[in-house]
Amino acid sequence: MSLSGKVAIVTGASRGIGKGIALQLGEAGATVYITGRTVQSHAGAPAPGSLNETAQEVERRGGKCIPVACDHSLDSDIDSLFERVSREQNGQLDILVNNAYSAVDSIMKARGVPFWKLPPTFWDEVNNVGLRNHYICSVKAAQLMTERKSGLIINVSSIGGLTYLFNVPYGVGKAACDRMAADCAVELKKHKVAFVSLWPGAVKTELVKKYVLDPMEARKKAGGSGDDGDLERSASRKAEVVENMFANGETVEFSGKCVVALAKDPNIMKKTGRVLLTGELGSEYSLVDIDGRQHLGIRSVKELLKQGGWTKTAEYIPQFLAIPRFVVNAYFGRF
């Protein structure tokens, strides 16, 4: 079953996960509107990639892609985007993927800085484009989808909604994305519109390469720094675990494969309101990443061992062995 005849919007698709989702949706036959601020690549951009490059790649794969310059911090730009889609597609919108996020650079530069030493405006920097705009886009999409009694809205979120990751505004924002999906799903259910939150695993995006993988390679080439004491070794070990996670992580298109599978699922309403993990969707829908690898998700014992650097031990662990959900809930539970 293809997505021919379906209309999708993917926000923040110049690069990274948004680009990967757009590529897979286009390849599956959907007409894909993509948004972002970088229409053409230019010197000084935070990372490679542009809307036009994404659109050209979709077209090369036989899909149809319409790039739309949109600053998601401006409500007027979002209004114009949905008005255009409604006008050009006769009110049809089948899939919205809320992925736009403008704070990756800022978050990486603020690593290790406690919230009280950051300006209060850092909250807006992290959660304006990445939370507020997701809500506005969802309102606009729901207005179209409820009229047709059909549709799928996806918030791209992360495990930061469950446990501390990066900083306070990031975690609160991701938790809010998950709660948005759950609460919007309650009101949308009778209109047969599904709303879910998607947690990718560690993903090898262009910015991850810049901030994590390239520095890791540089340190390896420079060699070890000798015995720096217990604290330094502990910090180094933690950094190594994170680096292994990303080095063995998903490509940007694996999330796209998951989105396509969800869009094709005739029983998608059974998942509405839930947090969905890409690794577990991969197992459910028998998905393989574009590099041929399987991803087993954060509950997989085998995957956790691999990401922690215990690759030899992981070879002896069966793929089906997973940490039960109630254990995860108990470990991270707050009540």
Active site residues: 170
What 213-218 contacts at long range (C-beta under 8 Å, 24+ apart), as own/partner pairs, is 213/243, 213/246, 213/247, 216/243, 216/247
Beta carbons within 10 angstroms of residue 335's beta carbon: 2
166-199 residues labelled b (16+ CB within 10 A) or e (exposed): bbebbbbbbbbbbebbbebbeebeeeebbbbbbb
Residue 65 to residue 263: CA distance in whole angstroms: 17
Closest CA to 272 of 329, 190, 199, 327: 190
> Are the C-beta atoms of 99 and 21 separated by less than 8 Å?
yes
Residue 156 to residue 209: CA distance in whole angstroms: 20
- Phi then psi for residue 280, to 5 deg, are -75, -35
> Are the C-beta atoms of 229 and 263 separated by less than 8 Å?
no
Closest CA to 262 of 78, 86, 52, 94: 94
Residue 301 to residue 299: CA distance in whole angstroms: 6
Residue 243 to residue 307: CA distance in whole angstroms: 8
